[in-house]
Amino acid sequence: MHGAACRFTVSKMAVYLSKFMVLLLLLFVASVLLLDFNTGFGMYLDLGDHIPYLEAVKFSFYPLMAALPVLALHLWIALVSRHQGIPVTMGVIGVILAYMAYNLPDWLIWKWPALMNGWAEPATIIWLGIGCGLFLYAAGMVHFVRKDVS
């Protein structure tokens, strides 16, 4: 019996991880497309011979890393809530908060993808995003694994 329960738990963990990885892959593809189109548009407009590749990569991928807590939180809410209205409401609230990011305090995770903060480095937001994203992912997975199937 213990082996079957362990396999069931591992399979639920794999389901949660696969859903998170699909979302992360889609955001990664969007970041790559943003990098490609920004670079291509700059070349098309003939903005100069020097292309700041490092700045373009930062502009494309830093928001992805800073958005990991939002991604993990919304996945958690979507998978454990019984009604669709709760994740949709949280998504709408998140969009409103992201729209008002300039006026929000620095500790709100919906402000982090905009990379606007009172600190000197955007790297602070990146590390906070990765750390909080991993924490929220782990908490969501533990809650999802312990949730009874109904």
Taking only the tens place, the pLDDT of each residue in 40-92 is 998 898 887 888 889 999 989 999 999 999 999 999 999 888 889 999 999 99
Q: What is the mean pLDDT of residues 83-107?
A: 89
Predicted TM-score of the model (pTM): 0.84
- Angle, CA of 120, 72 and 16, to the nearest 5°: 150
CA-to-CA distance for 73 and 59, rounded, in angstroms? 23
Output the CA–CA distances (angstroms, integers) from residue 21 to 15, 18, 25, 31, 48, in the order listed.
10, 5, 6, 15, 38
Q: Is 1 strand, coil or helix?
A: coil
CA-to-CA distance for 44 and 56, rounded, in angstroms? 15
CA-to-CA distance for 84 and 90, rounded, in angstroms? 10
Centre a 10 Å sphere on the Cβ of residue 13 and count the other Cβ atoms it contains.
14
